[in-house]
Amino acid sequence: MSETKMVSLDEMDEQLIQKAEAEGVETMWDRKKAMKAPCGFGEKGVCCRICAMGPCRVSPVEGKGAQRGICGATADTIVARNLARMIAAGTSAHSDHARDIAHVMHMASRDGNYTIKDERKLLSLAEEWEVNTEGRDIYDVAHEVAEIALNEFGKPFGTLKFLERAPEPRKKIWRELDIEPRAIDREIATIMHSTHMGCTSDAESLLKIGMRTALADGWGGSMIGTVFSDILFGTPVPRETEANLGVLEEKQVNIILHGHEPSLSEMIVMAAQDPQIIKLAEEVGAEGINLAGMCCTGNEVTMRHGVKIAGNFFQQELAVLTGVIEAVIVDVQCIFPSLTPITDCYHTKFITTSPKAKITGATHIEFNEEKALESAKSIVREAIENFKNRKKEKVFIPQTKNQATLGYSVEAIIKQLDRVVNSNIDPQGTVKPLADVIKAGVLRGAAGIVGCNNPKVKHDYSHIEIMKKLIANDVIVVTTGCAAQAAAKAGLTSKDAAKLAGKGLQAVCELVDIPPVLHMGSCVDISRILTLVGETAKHMGVDNCDLPVVGVAPEWMSEKAVAIANYVIASGIDVFLGVEPPVMGSAAVVDMLTNKLEEMTGAKFFIDTDPHKLSAMMLDRIEEKRAKLEARL
């Protein structure tokens, strides 16, 4: 297959796609082809189906065709309303995930399945939230802290607690713009209300409540998700693993863990280590149990246990095509419903576990947190018993994988930085070394590269092109989500990749012993990036928007990504998008996003589908911010 025809960056993925064709199995790329051209109105965001007088589709061109919906809504209103609803949906996904984790902490007990793994983090959060810890059992403290977190979702008064963590000038901006989020659920409900037929029509107001809701994700749901997962399952430390479909093992029971919430995957990891379960696998003739992660669940378990990464979003079908997967175990989010028909073509069991994500045709084994380990064991047993059904003639494991070093929580990064601190002069445990190399220009800046895969882009191509370009120009990259998995597969999260970096970044990588691209976890862990940027800004006595830092979503697709982009902007960090958002039908909204937002938040959107142009824009913007910062410091 010629390079230009390839839908994936990866030769081996292409071979699997050919295998699918040969076996008459349909994949997403077949469906993408069958979809033909997308609806132009939907693509530009000017289709409204909020009430039953419509659907109304108005013209994206001013002065030509229908300019208003039946109620009189303009393209500006419709576009902004649709965008706000995407933010609400994305925020609800991250936050509902966080709520479940907080519930798990509320049920944690010393002799139960869920215990407290990072007491220090719990105690410092207790102090931050003014919970008494003196002479108290750590589990009492945990339950009280969990209850406070659960109240963050619906408290009637005040604003979110984690907002306090932001730099002072940022908090002031939020206050002045009136976008400090109140309770998380309340912000989501407010958007649904304000975007109901006949409510807000002012586009700027919609963007503002959109940002407020998005902030309830970044500094609310997502941050709770990360912090509470760390307390329950451990704060990640650097560890080694491998990534890509080559991690699948022909002689073992292969289980794909796909979805998002670590409360399930942690238990599966425990279950797969149980001697009796391992014995059962041997009894069916397997040499062991091979867990392999996919999407954000994959990120959660690789960050904390080094579980190998099978792949990212676009490899969920491809993994099944290898013919060696005994079970795909999923919980919520980013799961293709097509896993039902595709697993039907093989022996693979498709097991759903969450009442929030039941999928037609899948085997549903509800995961019960009260009996977490037992539930997990019965799910793993299903997989083991399926090993005998594997069809030898259908087996093909692509022999590609790369070494990855990951597990870079903020704490882990600071610990690495301590290597260069002369403790006679400076205290350990701060971001000072990072601030210093940025000030000195050894590092020109930093980029957070995040998000999904999208068939509008060759699989992983934009992620990798942009990462390579940035590290070659001494911009350190931090990454989460499917972008992080793309990096791991391409070898960019290995320390060896420092050779692709510019001289400055290379020197930093050697001195502090890190790869040039740091895998920081799952999508909710973008809150780690917010924390790192915020701490660096505080250390330098500036705001986030003064730092030469950019946020990038080269291949985004989900509503969650829209929420993320908006809280990143509201946090003062520019966002570069490699896929056009459905807003192009309103010149006014586009102007706000790519221009006027800067006056409000100090950050704005840059949109270009060409990864090379997009990275050039990032480098320019980083230098622009550097020049301003140098003049100030």
Q: From ligand CUV, ligand SF4, none, which one binds at residue 349 (CB under 5 to 8 Å depending on kind)?
A: none
CB-based contact 474:498 (threshold 8 Å): no
- The CA distance from 561 to 576, in Å, is 12
Identify residues 97-136 at the interface with ligand CUV (CB under 6 A): none
Report the nearest approach of ligand SF4 to the CB of residue 76 (Å). 12
For position 214 contacting ligand CUV by CB under 6 A, the verdict is no
Binding pattern for the stretch 239-268 against ligand CUV, x by CB under 6 A and - elsewhere: ---------------------x--------
Q: Is 631 exposed, middle or buried (0-12, 13-18, 19+ CB in 10 A)?
A: exposed
Binding pattern for the stretch 495-534 against ligand CUV, x by CB under 6 A and - elsewhere: ---------------------------xx-----------
Q: From ligand CUV, ligand SF4, none, which one binds at residue 558 (CB under 5 to 8 Å depending on kind)?
A: ligand CUV
Q: From ligand CUV, ligand SF4, none, which one binds at residue 197 (CB under 5 to 8 Å depending on kind)?
A: ligand SF4
Nearer to ligand SF4, 72 or 288 (CB): 72
Q: DSSP letters along 376-436, please? A: HHHHHHHHHHTGGG--GGG-------EEEEE---HHHHHHHHGGG--TTTS-SSSSHHHHH
Nearer to ligand CUV, 228 or 387 (CB): 228
CB-based contact 448:551 (threshold 8 Å): yes
Q: From ligand SF4, ligand CUV, none, which one binds at residue 481 (CB under 5 to 8 Å depending on kind)?
A: ligand CUV
Query: Nearest CA to 409 among 565, 324, 245, 531?
Result: 531
Q: From ligand SF4, ligand CUV, none, which one binds at residue 50 (CB under 5 to 8 Å depending on kind)?
A: ligand SF4
Residues 6+ apart with CB under 8 A from 64: none
Identify residues 461-500 at the interface with ligand CUV (CB under 6 A): 481-482
Nearer to ligand SF4, 58 or 600 (CB): 58
Report the nearest approach of ligand CUV to the CB of residue 454 (Å). 9
Judged by CB under 6 A, which of 41, 174, 219, 313 binds ligand CUV? 313
- The CA distance from 161 to 249, in Å, is 46
Q: From ligand CUV, ligand SF4, none, which one binds at residue 73 (CB under 5 to 8 Å depending on kind)?
A: ligand SF4
Judged by CB under 6 A, which of 225, 451, 516, 581 binds ligand CUV? 451
Report the nearest approach of ligand CUV to the CB of residue 467 (Å). 15
The binding site for ligand SF4 (CB under 6 A) comprises: 48-51, 53-56, 69-71, 73, 197
- The CA distance from 162 to 157, in Å, is 15
Over its C-alpha atoms, the chain yields an Rg (Å, rounded) of 24
Report the nearest approach of ligand CUV to the CB of residue 159 (Å). 26
HSE, side-chain direction, 13 A CA sphere, residue 414: 18
Q: Could you give the residue ranges of the DSSP H alpha helices within 258-347?
A: 262-272, 275-283, 295-305, 316-321, 339-344
389, amino acid identity:
N
Report the nearest approach of ligand SF4 to the CB of residue 92 (Å). 22
Strand, helix or coil for residue 51: coil
Q: From ligand CUV, ligand SF4, none, which one binds at residue 522 (CB under 5 to 8 Å depending on kind)?
A: ligand CUV
Strand, helix or coil for residue 231: helix
Q: Which two tokens stand for residue 555?
A: 């291949």
Residues 6+ apart with CB under 8 A from 515: 405, 492, 493, 494, 495, 496, 497, 498, 509
Q: From ligand SF4, ligand CUV, none, which one binds at residue 313 (CB under 5 to 8 Å depending on kind)?
A: ligand CUV
Judged by CB under 6 A, which of 83, 215, 452, 530 binds ligand CUV? 452
Report the nearest approach of ligand SF4 to the CB of residue 583 (Å). 16
User: Angle, nearest 10°, between helix axes 262-272 and 275-283?
Assistant: 70
Binding pattern for the stretch 559-598 against ligand CUV, x by CB under 6 A and - elsewhere: -x--------------------------------------
Q: Which two tokens stand for residue 316?
A: 């969920």
Identify residues 282-301 at the interface with ligand CUV (CB under 6 A): 295-296
Nearer to ligand CUV, 214 or 384 (CB): 214
Report the nearest approach of ligand SF4 to the CB of residue 209 (Å). 17
Q: From ligand CUV, ligand SF4, none, which one binds at residue 560 (CB under 5 to 8 Å depending on kind)?
A: ligand CUV
Query: Nearest CA to 547 among 615, 474, 618, 628?
Result: 628
- The CA distance from 230 to 300, in Å, is 10
Nearer to ligand CUV, 81 or 94 (CB): 94
Nearer to ligand SF4, 199 or 633 (CB): 199
Q: From ligand CUV, ligand SF4, none, which one binds at residue 220 (CB under 5 to 8 Å depending on kind)?
A: none
- The CA distance from 186 to 397, in Å, is 48
Q: Which residues of 359-372 are buried (b: 16+ CB within 10 A; e: fewer)?
A: beebeebebebeeb
Report the nearest approach of ligand CUV to the CB of residue 522 (Å). 6
Report the nearest approach of ligand CUV to the CB of residue 296 (Å). 4
Q: From ligand CUV, ligand SF4, none, which one binds at residue 48 (CB under 5 to 8 Å depending on kind)?
A: ligand SF4
Which residue's entry shows tokens 């809280």? 567
Nearer to ligand SF4, 199 or 237 (CB): 199
68, amino acid identity:
R
Angle at 365 (CA atoms; ends 362, 368), nearest 5 degrees:
145
Nearer to ligand SF4, 69 or 448 (CB): 69
Q: Which two tokens stand for residue 606?
A: 């840059």
Residues 6+ apart with CB under 8 A from 449: 463, 466, 467, 470, 477, 478, 479, 483, 487, 552, 553, 554
Report the nearest approach of ligand CUV to the CB of residue 418 (Å). 30
Between strands 549-553 and 445-449, the pairing is: parallel
Nearer to ligand SF4, 196 or 612 (CB): 196
Which residue's entry shows tokens 């890190």? 514
Binding site for ligand CUV (CB under 6 A): 260, 295-296, 313, 334, 451-452, 481-482, 522-523, 558, 560
